[in-house]
Chain A
Amino acid sequence: MTAANSTNVVLDINNLVVGLGRKADAHRIIDDLSLQVREGETLCLVGESGSGKSVTSLTVMGLLQKGTLVPSGGSVKLVGEELLTASDRRLRQLRATRMAMIFQEPMTALNPVVHVGRQIDEVLRAHTDLDARARQQKILAMMEHVRLPDVERIFASYPHRLSGGQRQRIMIAMALVLEPKLLIADEPTTALDVTTQKQILTLIRDLQRDHGTAVLFITHDMGVVAEIADRVAVMRHGRLVESGPLDDVLRHPKMEYTRNLLSSVPSLVPRTPRPETSEPVVLEANELGKVYRERSMFGKAREVAAAKDVTLTLRKGRTLGIVGESGSGKSTVARCIVRLIDPTSGGVRLAGREISDLSRRLLQPHRKKIQIIFQDPYRSLNPRVTVGESIAEGPINYGMPRKDALARARELLELVHLPPDAISRYPHQFSGGQRQRIAIARALALDPDVLVADEAVSALDVSVQAQVLDLLDEIQKRLGIALLFITHDLRVAAQICDDVAVMQHGRIVEQGPAAEVLTNPQQAYTRALLDAAPGRGWDFANFRPVSEAAE
């Protein structure tokens, strides 16, 4: 890690206030925020969603939506130059030359209809007098610098032809091609798989070391913080909670909020295994396969095997995790098991009954035995239907009288720790965590034997994630339900699963008790996944490195 020996302050934010609208008494999104980033230093700005991290970065860049969010006090200085009062023209000159930014979603941050090389070229054309040839040479060199392969081909490629990691490298090349003093990275690895994330973090750190760039790194992920930060600043509700050198904040957090935040980070060390049970098997998948065929009227059909020979067994009251990176086939398997999509080969036995070949109509009575919770609670609940109706709809479909179904909905809301009056409210009146509780209540309404959770906590902040995981655990103990837990997050898997299946390219590469697979992996891929997990050296909840815990 590059120590911040230099005292050259690149970014100096003092008592910044950003309000919602122009009025003097406007709600403050950023309230009295002060922080500095020095040359060659990485400051990690951490906080949960809505804490004001991104607004801070957009304020620095001058990219706040005009008229909606308005900086109303304090100062933001870039190498001594005040930015809040700078003209639009001056801000444009400073962008990409003195300060640059990379964003969370490499999939959407690049213009889909322009070659990526040209998109980098735009920076040079806007800010330099170089001729076409010199510009192209500089771009190709920069693309090699960010370790892109086959740069000439990629130069002339459209973004959709590149992987997420490659796109983020393009973004980094674009941001750093003019060697700005300050790089703002807003959750740049959140949308990437762990192995890609590790590469991108290494790249940012290496580039920073070579060029002495000051980096303001925004993240919600303590693991990433541990990997990359020199100093850490914790934000909450638009205010700075505390800041300090990485080691100090992780070992001796001063504020209660920071302690809670760290305690919520699930440990990569698996929880103590529960004793094996001889409860009946409720779900079995036998050599399950799903092949997608792309038909065309004249051309050749294309086949993609999204899942191959997947065999799983789940007993009553147990939790089986399916882990893997995006595109590994986890969600395909989950959807085949729930019969949201039809498997093309193999079988699924639910409570002893083969369901993979049942027609929609014959499947109907079995559907209630297996229910699914989806990743994004903002999109999985119908916004125009009250929470109570959403929960009661399933039982009513299965013939329960409406009155009883609504009474049941009320009980379930209590079970997931929501107030009974939530029943007549709409999804938008709830936070993400609350919505996921509603989704859980909806899934439980049919008394299923198996609950499938497809990345059910991935969209939630760590503290909320911890609560939802606790809730699932509690429900499992009370109802003896079996849980099939799909996740890309090994920390979450370590804390909730009894058994784990690791998937890659549609196949299971390793399967066994979580405590074994996650501590003593037999397959190279599982090892690579574990190695890439950010912050694996830290036991955040106990405020110490893992190495010290072992002593």
Chain B
Amino acid sequence: MANLIDRTRDVLSRWRRRFRDDLKASTDASFLTAPRFFGLLYGPIDRSLPIDKALRKALAHRLPAHVGWRHALGGVAYLLFMVMVVTGVLLSLHYRPSSEEAYGSIQHIVTGVTFGWLVRDVHVWSATLIVIVVLAHMARVFFDGAYKPPRETSWLIGLMLLIVVLMFGATGYLLPWDQWAYWTVTEVLNTVAVLPLLGGLIVTALTGDAFVSGATLSRFFALHVIILPWIAFALLIFHFRMIRTQGVAPPRGTAKSETEGHPFFPHHLLRSFLVSVVVLAIVISLATLFPRPLAEPASPVEPPSELVSTWVVVDVSLALIRFFGPWGFVFFTLLGLSMAFIPLFDRHPERRHRPITALGVVFFVGFAILWLVGHQLRFAGPDVGASTPTEIAEPAQSGPE
């Protein structure tokens, strides 16, 4: 018996030595050795490309000493975006974008698909967290003054990415096709319609019908899974390219970072890994503990008694619409868009205009307050307005008992 064990150990030991020797003897002892060894890369091709060199350069890139944990917000936003891409692709395997089948397919995903509930709720919670993280990232950049020249383009691209994230959420919000989704989208579209000149055009283009219908669902789905991802990837590449070219902005009040910090690998990659693990755990925890509830299937002729918000931006939007009317919503949107012009007026590297600081405080603090207020309130069902389809609804009949 002991003899057999010794022989087995000897065979395993020889196999391990041979594996290591083969690895060492491979054509290039670089980062790409392992995939090349397993046949995942073809040596002659990738040796002719500077992939390995670029990878080494990227990992060895040294970030300034002031880059710390708070600079991880941008990376967290990218992580959440990728989580949404992956979960979104998985959801699209089962989701059916038609007014007849959408609601049923969501029910199937939640109850009939293995871990479908987790995929959907991680997608939903990532949609909320990404807005918060992107705004926090934007606030960090704003209060660090990192939008000032020469990084104004990067700031503008970041703002465009925020808009794309909001559009992702807005178009995705309708897809469950339940009462809350249907009537929230109806109310927000009615609000957008009050915008002079463009409002009606935007709403007509988005709905594709006289009211929110199957045509609207198709358009929202196409925007959500086809059009917006391309725009988002293009903007992300541009955003990352700008950061790589211009470097991380120096601390506030200094024109240039004086000291060179640690290399990206392993210091910052390890930090990113830790942050990513925590963020993923938080997302999974939220998805498990607070799954997104589903209302009754959408009914264009019967508004629900109350609207339950399941997305941070809906909390803010409904709070604005219900408390300040359509123009409150429009004004706050314009306030957010006005942030794009800040680099034009605030160009000095070491000073800041107080009105610009006030603008940022109003936007970021206002968003936080509106979110908290909107989240606490349970909004009554929509008022049956002239532009909702309920006009055609017949009065409810109830018989005597």
Q: Do A and B come from one complex?
A: no
Residue ranges of A at the interface with B (Cβ–Cβ < 8 Å): none
